[in-house]
Amino acid sequence: MKTIRYTGLIAFLFSLGLFLSLFFTSTYTLTEQIFTSNVKAEHQETLGPELAGMMDREYSLSIPFVKDLNAAVNTVNERMRSEQQWDKVIYDDYAGSLTRASTSGLIQDQTTLLFILVFIVGAVGALMFILPQIQLGGPAGIKHNGIFFNALNNRGWIGMLTGGLLVVFYVLLYFYPAYITNWIILVDPVQKLLNPGATSSQWFLYGFLYTFAVLVMGVRMIIKYRHSKYQIFRTISVMFFQTAFAFLIPEILVRLNQPYFDFKNMWPLDYDFFDAWHINMLTTSGGTGIFMFAWGISLFAIGVPLFVFFFGKRWYCSWVCGCGGLAETVGDPFRQLSDKSLKAWQIERYLIHAVLIFGLLMTGAVVYNFISGTNSILGIDTYNYLRKPYGFLIGSIFSGVIGTGFYPFMGNRVWCRFGCPLAAYLGAVQKFKSRFRITTNGGQCISCGNCSTYCEMGIDVRWYAQRGQNIIRSSCVGCGVCSAVCPRGVLNLENRDEDGRFNQPILLGNDSIKVSN
């Protein structure tokens, strides 16, 4: 079995190394034909002279090629603005389109083979490393087997390297996609399978990688918590919703000439839902678009209060949400790193509600502008001072770069705990009007601390368990791991009123008693 695991590890590292090396394997040559085919006619006269020095010149890396392209576009724009020729300012992403069209080499010649070597071999290698744990890992569940001395799981050098790579990837993905053109081309086989007439984009790459990671690490999650039916069903649920609702269905809709739409996403997490372009896209797309718009409003206005009342915020955060799905699968090895201190809790409460208020103000301004047909409120440009900062600070930096890149530094629910405005909304309903709670049996608690250690939301669960108090916290996502790792069956997830009415047992039962430490 150890041979299988080591072989799997080698295969996975090979695929990862190949994926990273693709950044350096292509050449880039801009020709007159590529220029005229990818640049609009109205921009060719002004941009052409600036790109003359690049024509037919071979670049061995994307970095200098993209840098020269951006420099040419910026030069044109500065000149047009200084001459106040606003109609000739270039807003198109020519860096991305020209870089892709100018790419040649292995990634273009052997796209399918490289896809297989990176993703298929990588997935097989990861599963070969994971599956033998059934025989070698002993009892199911979390075990204190040196996790706090592991270089990956306790902010060691592997964890720092992993976090650094994630941060760099998100920065490139969000702000400099032209530099990762080779990675975008790599997923073309999947894009063409779903929509033969399209080519992959930075967001398709992101969606594919996101789904791929959730599926592979979801298998690991199921194996690790195989003693708990609740954890198995919950993991299968997030794998299904990410694959079907977040990845496949939106792409199929586009192929059917319908708007791209994620039916499980909602405002305020989907912060551009009320943007004018989005409303116009849906309302001008016929009955399907109108249904999508009505669905989106109904989901957060009716669905959230109703489902949270009966099931708590876990119905979304732990069973449906893509951010939660990634945190629970890919982020599971880092859940013990969440800060449990009182100071962290205070920061969490102020920060997450500040983001919610920011989102409310931004959305209110956007809706007002849409209705009034203006671009400002009281002389304030709402796009430059509200919508754009929110998209950059919250939509990109907080939710992506920090929210995922900081898994190895701060635990797996950084975004969910400190920044997600939807989590704040769900939590407010759960705190004041929900039957969901975690009940405790203080007489059975031995103060082992497993529950608090592995709470990804930074809740000191042991404090409640020792006192026999029910846990009703707005931040609790109902993941159930605290119960799954309890050796005494002290904690139970229940849907009940305080007087015990409407008690609905959850698929957890006393499975947690089977955990060995």
> What distance in Å separates the CA atoms of residue 510 and residue 253, rounded to the nearest whole number?
43
Radius of gyration of the chain (CA): 25
| 513 pLDDT above the threshold of 50 | no
Residues of the chain with CATH 3.30.70.20: 437-514
**DSSP H or E segment with residue 188:** helix 188-194
Query: What are the distances in angstroms from CA 157 to CA 404, 409, 410?
Result: 18, 11, 15
> What distance in Å separates the CA atoms of residue 512 and residue 516, rounded to the nearest whole number?
9
- Within 10 angstroms of residue 319's Cβ, the number of other Cβ atoms is 23
| 449 pLDDT above the threshold of 80 | yes
Q: Please give the distance of CA 78 from its chain centroid, rounded to a whole number.
A: 36
Q: For residue 133, name the pLDDT band (cuts at 50, 70, 90).
A: low
What pLDDT digit, counting tens, does each position of 349-358 carry? 999 999 999 9
Look up residue 513 and give its two tokens.
Answer: 């008693």
Burial of 371 from C-beta contacts in 10 A (0-12 / 13-18 / 19+): exposed
Q: Mean of the pLDDT values across residues 488-492?
A: 90
| 514 pLDDT above the threshold of 60 | no
Which stretch of 9-13, 328-332, 373-377, 473-477 has the lowest confidence by average pLDDT? Answer: 373-377
What pLDDT digit, counting tens, does each position of 103-122 carry? 999 999 999 999 999 999 99
| 135 pLDDT above the threshold of 60 | no
What's the confidence (pLDDT) of residue 507? 46
Q: For residue 136, name the pLDDT band (cuts at 50, 70, 90).
A: low
Contacts of 343 (CB under 8 A, 6+ apart): none
DSSP 491: E
Which stretch of 4-13, 134-143, 219-228, 375-384 has the lowest confidence by average pLDDT? Answer: 134-143
> What distance in Å separates the CA atoms of residue 238 and residue 480, rounded to the nearest whole number?
14
- Fold annotation for 437-514: Alpha-Beta Plaits (3.30.70)
Q: For residue 487, name the pLDDT band (cuts at 50, 70, 90).
A: confident
| 206 pLDDT above the threshold of 50 | yes
Q: For residue 150, name the pLDDT band (cuts at 50, 70, 90).
A: confident
What pLDDT digit, counting tens, does each position of 268-312 carry? 999 999 999 999 999 999 999 999 999 999 999 999 999 999 999
What's the confidence (pLDDT) of residue 373? 87
**DSSP H or E segment with residue 495:** strand 491-495
Q: For residue 508, name the pLDDT band (cuts at 50, 70, 90).
A: very low
Q: What is the mean pLDDT of the chain?
A: 90
What 3-state class would DSSP assign to 383?
Answer: helix
DSSP letters spanning 25-37: SEEEEB-HHHHHH
Query: What are the distances in angstroms from CA 203 to CA 158, 173, 185?
Result: 27, 8, 12
pTM of the model as a whole: 0.91
Q: For residue 515, name the pLDDT band (cuts at 50, 70, 90).
A: very low
Burial of 329 from C-beta contacts in 10 A (0-12 / 13-18 / 19+): buried
Q: Mean of the pLDDT values across residues 246-254?
A: 95
Which stretch of 96-110, 195-209, 315-329, 367-381 has the lowest confidence by average pLDDT? Answer: 367-381
What's the confidence (pLDDT) of residue 132? 75
What percent of the chain is modeled with pLDDT above 70?
A: 94
| 131 pLDDT above the threshold of 90 | no
- Within 10 angstroms of residue 32's Cβ, the number of other Cβ atoms is 12
Q: For residue 498, name the pLDDT band (cuts at 50, 70, 90).
A: low
What's the confidence (pLDDT) of residue 137? 53
Q: Say if CB 28 and CB 65 are below 8 A apart.
A: yes
What's the confidence (pLDDT) of residue 378? 82
What's the confidence (pLDDT) of residue 509? 40
Tally the C-alpha atoms within 13 A of residue 184's C-alpha that lie toward its C-beta.
Answer: 23
| Beta bridge mates, 473 | none
What's the confidence (pLDDT) of residue 139? 67
CA-based max dimension of the chain: 80
Name the residue among 248, 106, 92, 90 with its Cα closest to residue 178. Answer: 92
> What distance in Å separates the CA atoms of residue 396 and residue 65, rounded to the nearest whole number?
25
> What distance in Å separates the CA atoms of residue 171 and residue 180, rounded to the nearest whole number?
11
Look up residue 281 and give its two tokens.
Answer: 């896209």
Q: Mean of the pLDDT values across residues 89-95?
A: 90
> What distance in Å separates the CA atoms of residue 409 and residue 306, rounded to the nearest whole number?
35
Q: Mean of the pLDDT values across residues 470-478?
A: 91
Look up residue 287 and give its two tokens.
Answer: 């009955």
Q: Mean of the pLDDT values across residues 136-152?
A: 73
The span from the first CA to the last CA of the chain, in angstroms, equals 22
Q: For residue 512, name the pLDDT band (cuts at 50, 70, 90).
A: very low
**DSSP H or E segment with residue 104:** strand 103-105
What's the confidence (pLDDT) of residue 87? 84
| 516 pLDDT above the threshold of 60 | no
